[in-house]
Amino acid sequence: MNQDSLINILSMGDHGVYVWIVIVVLFAILGSTIILLNRKIRQAKQEINEEG
Amino acid sequence: MDRSILFIETYKLYKRRRAWIGPVLVFLLIIISFPLTLDINSENPPQIYLSFIWISTLLVTMLGTELIFSDDFEDGTLEQYAVNNQLIEIVFYKVLVHWLLIGIPLAFVAFLFILSLDISIRISSIALICLIISNLIFINFFSLGNALSLKKGSILGLLITIPFLIPVLIVLGKMTTSALLGLSLVGHLSLLVGVMFLVASFIPFIISFILRTHLE
Amino acid sequence: MIKKFFHQFASPKSYFAIANKFGKPVLVFFFLLYLGALVWGLFFTPPDAIQGDSYRIIYMHVPASFMAQILFVVMAITSAVFLIWKLKLAAYVSKSIAPIGAIVTFFALFSGSIWGIPTWGTWWQWDARITSTLILFIMYLGLISLHASFENKDKADKFFSVLVLIGVVNIPIIKKSVDWWSTLHQSASITLTSKPTIDPVMLYPLMFSIVTFIGLIFGLVVLSSQNEILKREKYKSWVKNI
């Protein structure tokens, strides 16, 4: 597979930009939710350990 | 069933004149400001006026029921009723009194406004009946919202109850179009009346459950 | 008997232990699977005959809109469990679903309107499904703000659960009435419902993406409920031994 066909596949024709916007937003939302929750859980555990 | 509670509730709301004259006056002011922003001489379809009336009565009934439980909650009256196991009755009567003193006057003010717009008597009287029925539904749901958001302000109550009232608004909108087309309204009206009885008999139980949780 | 079972095995403590052990691996597992479904759908299926490549948003939009409704039903079940058996854990799970549901519903709306730009030529259409999804989104936000407005969280749990149950009774009514309403508009010439029957080449990745997305979102719910448990049971003694 050469480079041109890879770019062709990734750009998905005329409307590829819409698909990519949705993908980026989906993973931004999912990623930030996971990171935020993880950080909150870690903070809560830390707080509990300090108190105990 | 203690009938004296009904009289006490009526008297209490009647004495707080601002609580029941206020919403009617606000409604009147909104109605006055509506033609001022829409150019009443141009040929606007009556649908616009009717949909405006549905939505503004929705909001004004919310204003009118804002303090339905908070005073009695603060001075301990509700707790008294809860101890006597009369919470459901008091909720039922409160809703009824608010309907009589706020809901029905609002419907008549709206009726006069619709008559003033050259809309036929048939359609305006249909609108009057619809408003009387739907105001009871609105007041029931808003009392629920206000019971949930007791002392938290009415924004929260509005936010959580308006989604439940959207079906009623859709029925009203459907009725408007069929009335303007001259179709039969028996089906719509009976649907509205059925919803009214269902709501008026179930919601007070949920409200009294919520109030009891508040009092715990 | 059921009550005893619940109190033994569904205490926040044992739930947290299980979630702490398996939650993250399961989340990562489904995340990777969903990624695989996306790669399959996005790059290894032919473009749609009518919509071209923009139809590929379906692999994100349909799972999200599906989950938006499923999450509300799950929330209603846990709320009912809480109200009937007074099970604390159910209330925590129920409460932690709400923000996830709001996020998923928001994404469903967002991806739908982006999809609308190339296919309908407009980002918003007052169509029955879009409108009822928007109402669902507002209901999630209302639930979150109701829970947040109470200092006394035990009370907040009760009100939250009552409202969820009223909501779940109302959602079908709202959907039906909105469907009925949208027949008012004769202009709905392009609707999602008139979509041609889907080809198996696209159907299989779609099914796969829906299934993996369900797993992914439930992984998120577990994570969020862990957070909620830690927040609410801060002062219990079992928390010290994590």
Q: Is the pLDDT of residue A13 over 70?
A: no
Residue that is written with structure tokens 């939250």 in the block: C160
Q: Is the pLDDT of residue A7 over 80?
A: no
Confirm if C91 and C157 have CB atoms less than 8 A apart.
Answer: yes
Rounded distance between C-alpha atoms, residue B33 and residue B95, angstroms: 29
Residue that is written with structure tokens 């109302």 in the block: C170
Which pLDDT score is estimated for B8?
84
Which pLDDT score is estimated for C189?
42
Average pLDDT over all residues of chain C: 85
Residue that is written with structure tokens 């005893």 in the block: C4
What is the tens place of the pLDDT at every residue in B108-137? Answer: 999 998 888 878 888 889 999 999 999 999
Q: Is B45 helix (H, G, I), strand (E, B) or coil?
A: coil
Residues of A with CB under 8 A from a CB of C: 9-10, 12-16, 18-19, 21-23, 25-26, 29-30, 33-34, 37-38, 40-41, 44-45, 47-49, 52
Q: Which two tokens stand for residue A18?
A: 């819409």
What DSSP string runs through C21-89?
Answer: HHHHHHHHHHHHHHHHHHHHHHHSSPPBTTTBGGGGGHHHHHHHHHHHHHHHHHHHHHHHHHHHH--HH
Q: What does the radius of gyration of chain A's CA atoms come to, in whole angstroms?
A: 20
Rounded distance between C-alpha atoms, residue C37 and residue C32, angstroms: 9
Question: How far away is chain B from the Cα of C183, in angstroms, using its nearest Cα?
Answer: 10
State the alpha helices, DSSP H only, in chain B.
3-15, 17-38, 46-64, 70-74, 77-83, 87-98, 104-115, 121-148, 154-181, 186-215
CB pairs under 8 A between A and C: 84
Residue B207: which of B61, B114, B125, B89 has the closest Cα?
Answer: B89
Residue B5: which of B134, B79, B94 has the closest Cα?
Answer: B94
Residue C211: which of C33, C8, C58 has the closest Cα?
Answer: C33
Which pLDDT score is estimated for B204?
94
Q: Is B87 helix (H, G, I), strand (E, B) or coil?
A: helix
Residue in C with minimal Cα distance to B215: C155
Q: Model ipTM?
A: 0.88
Would you tell me which residues 117-136 of chain C have a C-beta closer than 8 angstroms to some C-beta of chain B? 135
Question: How far away is chain C from the Cα of A35, in angstroms, using its nearest Cα?
Answer: 10
Pick left, alpha or beta for residue C188 (phi over 0 → left; psi -120 to 50 → alpha; otherwise beta). Answer: beta
Rounded distance between C-alpha atoms, residue C38 and residue C56, angstroms: 9
Q: Is the pLDDT of residue C2 over 70?
A: no
Q: Which residue has the higher pLDDT, B128 or C234?
A: B128
C172 touches chain B (CB under 8 A): no
Rounded distance between C-alpha atoms, residue B125 and residue B115, angstroms: 9
- pLDDT confidence bin for A2, thresholds 50/70/90: low
Residues of A in contact with C107 (CB under 8 A): 25-26, 29
C153 touches chain B (CB under 8 A): no
Segments making up each domain of chain B, as ranges: 3-215
Residue percentage of chain B with pLDDT more than 70: 97
Q: Is the pLDDT of residue C10 over 80?
A: no
Give the mutation candidate from B166, B188, B195, B206 for the C interface (greatest C CB count, under 10 A): B166
Question: How far away is chain B from the Cα of C163, in angstroms, using its nearest Cα?
Answer: 8
Residue in B with minimal Cα distance to C157: B213
Which residue type does B56 have? S
Rounded distance between C-alpha atoms, residue A35 and residue A22, angstroms: 20
Contact C181 B170 (CB under 8 A): yes
Residue that is written with structure tokens 């709905």 in the block: C188
Rounded distance between C-alpha atoms, residue C44 and residue C46, angstroms: 7
Residues of B in contact with C174 (CB under 8 A): 163-164, 166-167
- The answer to which of B8-12, C27-31, C108-112, C224-228 has the lowest mean pLDDT is B8-12
Cα distances (Å, whole numbers) of residue B194 to B124, B133, B186, B187: 22, 10, 12, 11
Cα distances (Å, whole numbers) of residue B210 to B64, B129, B137, C91, C167: 20, 31, 18, 16, 15
What is the tens place of the pLDDT at every residue in C60-109? Answer: 999 999 999 999 999 999 999 999 988 889 999 999 999 999 999 999 99
Q: Is the pLDDT of residue C200 over 80?
A: no
Contact C42 A48 (CB under 8 A): no
Cα distances (Å, whole numbers) of residue C221 to C119, C122, C155, C192, C227: 33, 33, 22, 29, 10
- pLDDT confidence bin for A1, thresholds 50/70/90: very low
- Alpha carbon of residue B187 to chain centroid: 22
Residue B160 is nearest to which of C163, C178, C184, comparing CB atoms? Answer: C163
pLDDT in tens, chain B (216 residues): 567 888 888 888 888 888 888 999 999 999 888 878 877 666 767 788 888 899 999 999 988 888 888 888 888 888 888 888 888 988 999 999 999 999 999 999 999 988 888 788 888 899 999 999 999 999 999 999 999 888 777 788 888 899 999 999 999 988 888 888 888 888 889 999 999 999 999 999 999 999 998 888
Q: Which two tokens stand for residue B156?
A: 């929260």
Question: How far away is chain B from the Cα of C134, in angstroms, using its nearest Cα?
Answer: 10
C138 touches chain B (CB under 8 A): yes
- pLDDT confidence bin for C183, thresholds 50/70/90: low
Which pLDDT score is estimated for B179?
86
State the alpha helices, DSSP H only, in C121-199.
128-148, 153-182
C107 touches chain A (CB under 8 A): yes
Residue C36: which of C214, C209, C240 has the closest Cα?
Answer: C209
Which pLDDT score is estimated for C57?
87
Residues 6 or more apart whose CB falls under 8 angstroms from that of B160 comprise: B145, B148, B149, C139, C142, C143, C146, C163
Are 3 or more Cβ–Cβ pairs between C and B shorter than 8 Å? yes
